[in-house]
Structure 1
C-alpha cells in the first residue's frame, strides 16, 4: 500500500511534468469526467441510495445535475477563463504590455462531506482540473459506498497519477494533512475546519473552508407560507416570523420545529448543516444581528434593507438557497461558516495563481531615466506628473503624441551626432 507521502509525491511529480498545463489536456480530462458521470449514473444513484437513502429524482437533481451543469460551463468557458487578462496602464507604462495570467497552483487537496458526498467532491474537482492542477481527492468516509465508488471510477476515466483518490477515516486524513499541498478545500464542520487550517498553516498553504453555519430566515407577515416552509441542507436554521404559529403548522415532514427556545440551548451554540427551524420570538433586526451568517434567506419586501444591514456569505431573497445553483455567483461562508468561495469561474479563480506580467517597451526607456540616480527634486516633480496627475482621454492622446515627439527628437539627435 502506498503511503500518503508517496501518493502526494507522485501527484506532484506528474504536475511538474507539465502535462496538465495545456488547455487541450484539461479539456480532455473534463470531457472524461463528464463521460464518467453519464455512463455511471446508475452506480452513483445506487451508492447515494445505499449510504443516505436518497430517492432517485432527489439524488439526480441534487448531486448529478449540478455536476453536469458545472462541467458544461467549465468546458465552454475555459479558453476565456485561462486567457491573459489585460489591465489598465499608467503614463509610464502606456507602451508596455501588462496583463494578469491565471496559472495552476500545483497539487490541490479536496476533502468532501457526507451529506452531499458526490457533488461536494466533483464540483471543486472540476474547477481544480480546469485551472490545471493535480488533485488529491478525499471523499467522506461516512458514505462508504460513495467513497468506494469514487475510488474505483476516477482512475478509470482520469489520469491516475494526477488525480489520485484517498479513502479512509481520521487516521488517513490526519496523515494526509501532514503533506504539503498548494491549496486545500474542505467541506464540513468548523471544528474539523480549524484542524485543517492549522495543518495547512505549517506549510503556508491557502485554504477554502466550506463549513456549516446558521442560516437565518426572516418570513414577512405578507409572505406565502406554502412557498416559504421548505427544508434541506443550507436551508433556514434560525427564523423570525410574525406568524410563528402558522409557520410551525406549515412546516413539511422534513423540517423539525422547536418552539419556546432561547439562544442558550445547545443547538444554538452549534454550527451545523441540517434541516432545522428554531422559531425565536425576537425582533427581526435583533435576530439578524445574532450571528455572522453562512447564508441569509428571507421572504419579505425588505430585501434591500436586509442586504445592507446584515453580513453573510450569500443571500437569497423571496426564496431559499437558489443562489447556490447559479454558477456565476460565488458560494461560500464568512467567519465560522468558512473562508473563500467556489462554483463556476469562482472555482477556477480559487485554484489559480493570478500572475502579474509586465513586458517593457525599451523604446520608452528615456522616460524611465527618472528612476536612476542621482535623485533630484526635478525628477520627483516629473514622477508626480506622470503618476499622480489625472488626464481625460483627449489630454492623454495629446500627451502621447508629445512624448513620441520627444522620443523621436532624442533618437534623431543621437543619430545626427553619433
Structure 2
C-alpha cells in the first residue's frame, strides 16, 4: 500500500480535527499577520509553479489531455498574474483605511483595519485544477490566513503535483494539502473553519453550505449555470463566431464554468450563424476533430455518459446540425451544434459542461432577455451586438455574475473586476483585491480621547438632554445650538 493510499484510509474526522487544531494554534502565534511572511509565501508559491511548469503541463495532459497552450495561458499565466498583482499591491491593501467620523463622537478618529480570518478551507475543481486551486489559496495567504487546500480527486495527477509542490515550497506550519475524495472532503467539512471557499457544482455547493451553517462559517461558492450568448444580426459575424468558439471549445472543450452554454439568436439570422460556426470550427480543429490535439478530452467516463445522454434525448434527436461524433474509448466528443432545441429538453435543463452547443431561436432579439431571466441567474452572460440601445438594455436587465459584450470569457482575466456568481451561480467573489477581501475581516476601530466627555449621555435624562440628543442623532448642527440655548 502506498503512502498516499495510507493517508486516504486514515484521514477521518479525528485527523481533520487534529490538523485544524494544529493550524489554529500556529495561526495564534501571529506569524501570518506580518507583511514579510505573506510576501515570502506568495513568492514561494509563484516559484513552485514557474520552476515546475513542465510537470504541471504533463499532469494536466494526463488528467484532461489539455493542450499545453491552454495550461500555460489559462492556468499558469493567470496565476502568475495574480501573484504579481499581490506583490505589487499587498502593502497598500494591508494599510488601515482612515474614515471620517461625525460630531456624534467628537473628538474622535476612525479606521478600518483589515485582518486575517484565521484558518480557511479551499475546495477546488478539476477542470482548471491549478488555477482554481492556487488562485484562492494565494488570496488567502495574502490576507494572512492559514490554509488547507483540498484539490479535486477527479484530476488525480494534478492533485498529486499540488500536494508535492506545496509540501516542498511552502511553510507547512500554515499551508497544507489534503488529497482524497468524498470521505476526506466530508471529514474536512465537519470541522469549524473561519471561511470555506468552494468551486464546483450547485449540488455539492448545497452540501458545503449546509455543513458550514452548523458552525456559522461564511462561504464563497463559485458555481456555474447556463451561461447564455445572445447574437444580434448587427455584429461582425466572423469575429463573433470565432470568439464564441474560443470561449466554448477553446476553454477545456466546454468544461469550464464560464463556457457559453447556449446561444439565442433570431430565426432569420440562425442559418448564417450556424454556417459561420461550422466553417470556423473546421478551420480550427480540422475535418476530424476527434483527432485534434487542440481539444481536451472529456474528464471521465461518467461525464462522457452524461453528455451522451443529453444528445440521446428524444427531444433533441434530429437537431444536430454539426458534429455529434463520439469516441467512448478515448473519452472524446466532437464540437457539436444543435439548432432549434426545445427549451423543455434535458440539454436546456442543466449546465452542459461539455462540447455541446444548443441554439434556440426567437422572433425578436428583445425576447432573448425574457428567455434568460426565466431561468436561474447564470455565472456569465454574453452578447454580440453593435446596437447601443440593445447593448444598454441587455446590461440593465440581465442579472448574471458577470457580463461581457462582444466576446466570451475574457472578463475572467481582468483583475480589477470581481469574479463570482449571483443567485444559484454562487456567492462571493475573488480575483485581484477581491481575493484579498474574500479572506479578510474589515475590522472597525474608533479612537477617542478622555477629553470632551459630555454629561448629556448620562442619567438623569432631562428634556434638554432629550432635545440635544435628538439633534445629535439627526446630525443637525443648528438644532444642537438651539437645544443648547433653549431657542425655539
Question: TM-score normalised to the size of structure 1?
Answer: 0.90
Q: Residue 259 of structure 1 is aligned with which of 339, 343, 353?
A: 339
Change (3 A) 1:21 1:272: farther
Give CA-to-partner distance per residue, 1:138-196, whole Å, 9 cap, x none: 11101110000000000111111211100011111111111111101111100011011
Question: Distance in 2 between the 1:275 and 1:384 partners?
Answer: 64
Question: Distance in 2 between the 1:179 and 1:62 partners?
Answer: 33
Q: For the Cα contact (< 8 Å) 2:224–2:378, is it kept in 1?
A: no
Shift of residue 289, structure 1, vs aligned partner: 1.9
2:265 is aligned with 1:241: yes
Q: Residue 32 of structure 1 is aligned with which of 44, 54, 74?
A: 44
Question: Distance in 2 between the 1:333 and 1:218 partners?
Answer: 19
Question: Distance in 1 between the 2:448 and 2:91 partners?
Answer: 26
Question: Distance in 2 between the 1:295 and 1:158 partners?
Answer: 34
Q: Could you tell me which runs of 5 or more consecutive residues in structure 2 were left unpaired when the two chains were aligned.
A: 1-6, 286-294, 296-334
Q: For the Cα contact (< 8 Å) 2:106–2:452, is it kept in 1?
A: no
Instruction: Determine the structure 1 residue equivalent to 2:371.
Output: 287
Give CA-to-partner distance per residue, 1:272-324, whole Å, 9 cap, x none: 54454221123323223222222111011222211111111111111112211
Instruction: Determine the structure 2 residue equivalent to 1:321.
Output: 409
* Runs of 4+ off more than 6 Å: none
Q: Residue 350 of structure 1 is aligned with which of 426, 438, 444?
A: 438
Q: For the Cα contact (< 8 Å) 2:103–2:475, is it kept in 1?
A: no
Give CA-to-partner distance per residue, 1:196-243, whole Å, 9 cap, x none: 111111111111001121111111102122222322321221221121
Instruction: Determine the structure 2 residue equivalent to 1:333.
Output: 421
Give CA-to-partner distance per residue, 1:356-393, whole Å, 9 cap, x none: 10111221213xx32211122322222232332357xx
Instruction: Determine the structure 2 residue equivalent to 1:47.
Output: 59
Instruction: Determine the structure 2 residue equivalent to 1:309.
Output: 397
Shift of residue 103, structure 1, vs aligned partner: 0.6
Q: Could you tell me which runs of 5 or more consecutive residues in structure 1 were left unpaired when the two chains were aligned.
A: 404-418
Q: Residue 268 of structure 1 is aligned with which of 333, 348, 358?
A: 348
Q: For the Cα contact (< 8 Å) 1:236–1:275, is it kept in 2?
A: no
Question: Distance in 1 between the 2:361 and 2:115 partners?
Answer: 51
Give CA-to-partner distance per residue, 1:334-360, whole Å, 9 cap, x none: 111111111110111110111110111
2:382 is aligned with 1:297: yes
Secondary structure class of the residue paired with 1:365: coil
